């Protein structure tokens, strides 16, 4: 199996695609690469990490499905090129949205975030909004080519605009419902958003260390998992010494909480 960084693999994948599809795939694959960690190796990628990324995409809206399909294509390519041992694409499964009450739950939801995450989201939002004039200019210039049938620059510019506006809406919605969680230390403290948890994997004996963060803050490469991920949800409100069970694609993961910070 070749030893390749996820960034190099993504570059190879995008270059292998037809020009008409490479622009739309590149944006989403790059987002996945940033989430996973550009310098990490493809043969280190595991199914449970793909499941964690599913949580980042949210429920199965049309936009989330489109984004998931782009990443699945990349994951299938990794197996085809023998950069991973198995095809990890099936691990990327989106949750179905609840009917009827979906719109109400979005309006009433509360999103817990860390203070650092809140500031990072605000900074990202400002940066994204600053890109709007350039994207509009790119579209204007591309539209000067009257042959719209095979106008790849126009397709790429419109796709970039769609990604940009989608992310702006996503962050806007999060910040509107955000509640900054204050860290609480001391004996008997429970796991909450912002806590760093040291654990023992009772299946393997390995030591694990995760920081529980809010929606849109997750970064598995940095040991940050969201409070809506399977492991994050299982750990919330638990105390030191408690054992938790987490259902993952490979079976049941058994963890014992050794230490809680924050």
- Looking at residue 143, its pLDDT comes to 75
Specify which residues 255 forms β-bridges with: 201, 244
Burial track 33-61 (b if 16+ CB lie within 10 A, e otherwise): bebbbeebbbeebbbbbbbbbbbbbbeee
Cα–Cα distance for residue pair 229/94, rounded to 1 Å:
12
pLDDT for residue 166 is more than 50: yes
**Statement: the pTM of the whole predicted model exceeds 0.95:** no
Rounded mean pLDDT, 224-232: 89
pLDDT for residue 229 is more than 60: yes
Cα–Cα distance for residue pair 218/102, rounded to 1 Å:
23
Domains of the chain: 1-98 (1.10.150.130), 115-180 (1.10.287.180), 196-261 (3.10.50.30)
- Looking at residue 108, its pLDDT comes to 47
- Looking at residue 86, its pLDDT comes to 92
Which band of pLDDT confidence, cut at 50, 70 and 90, is reported for residue 68? very high
Give 10's contacts (C-beta < 8 A, 6+ positions apart).
29, 30, 32, 33, 74
Cα–Cα distance for residue pair 50/215, rounded to 1 Å:
16
Cα–Cα distance for residue pair 94/226, rounded to 1 Å:
16
pLDDT in tens, 25-61: 888 898 888 888 888 889 888 887 788 788 778 788 8
Structure tokens at 73: 């294509």
Nearest residue to 23 (alpha-carbon basis) of 165, 166, 154, 164: 154
pLDDT in tens, 170-224: 888 888 888 888 766 655 688 999 899 999 999 999 999 999 998 778 887 888 9
Give 215's contacts (C-beta < 8 A, 6+ positions apart).
111, 112, 113, 174, 226, 227, 228
Which band of pLDDT confidence, cut at 50, 70 and 90, is reported for residue 104? very low
pLDDT in tens, 81-103: 999 989 999 999 888 765 544 44
Tell me the three state secondary structure of residue 97: coil
- Looking at residue 139, its pLDDT comes to 80
Q: What is each CA distance from 119 to 43, 115, 130, 217, 227, in whole angstroms?
A: 34, 6, 17, 11, 18
> What percentage of the chain has pLDDT greater than the value 70?
90
Which band of pLDDT confidence, cut at 50, 70 and 90, is reported for residue 105? very low
């Amino acid at each position: 199996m070749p030893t390749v960084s996820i960034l190099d693999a993504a570059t190879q994948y995008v270059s292998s695609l037809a020009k008409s599809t490479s622009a739309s795939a590149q944006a989403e694959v790059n987002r996945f690469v940033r989430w996973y960690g550009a310098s990490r190796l493809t043969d280190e990628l595991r199914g449970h990490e793909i499941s964690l990324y599913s949580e980042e995409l949210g429920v199965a809206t049309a936009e989330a499905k489109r984004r998931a399909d782009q990443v699945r294509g990349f994951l299938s390519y990794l197996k085809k090129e023998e950069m991973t041992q198995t095809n990890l694409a099936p691990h990327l499964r989106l949750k179905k949205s609840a009917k009827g009450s979906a719109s109400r739950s979005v309006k009433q939801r509360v999103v817990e975030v860390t203070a650092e995450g809140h500031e990072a989201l605000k900074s990202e939002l400002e940066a994204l909004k600053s890109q709007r004039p350039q994207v509009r200019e790119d579209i204007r210039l591309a539209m000067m080519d009257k042959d719209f049938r095979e106008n790849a620059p126009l397709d790429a510019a419109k796709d970039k605009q769609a990604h940009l506006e989608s992310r702006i809406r996503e962050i806007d919605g999060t910040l509107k419902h955000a509640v900054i969680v204050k860290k609480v230390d001391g004996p008997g403290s429970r796991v909450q958003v912002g806590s760093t948890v040291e654990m023992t994997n009772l299946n393997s004996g390995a030591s694990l260390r995760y920081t529980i963060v809010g929606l849109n803050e997750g970064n598995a490469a940095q040991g940050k998992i969201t409070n809506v991920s399977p492991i994050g949800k299982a750990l919330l409100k638990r105390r030191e010494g408690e054992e938790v069970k987490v259902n993952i694609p490979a079976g049941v993961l058994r963890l014992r909480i050794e230490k809680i910070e924050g």
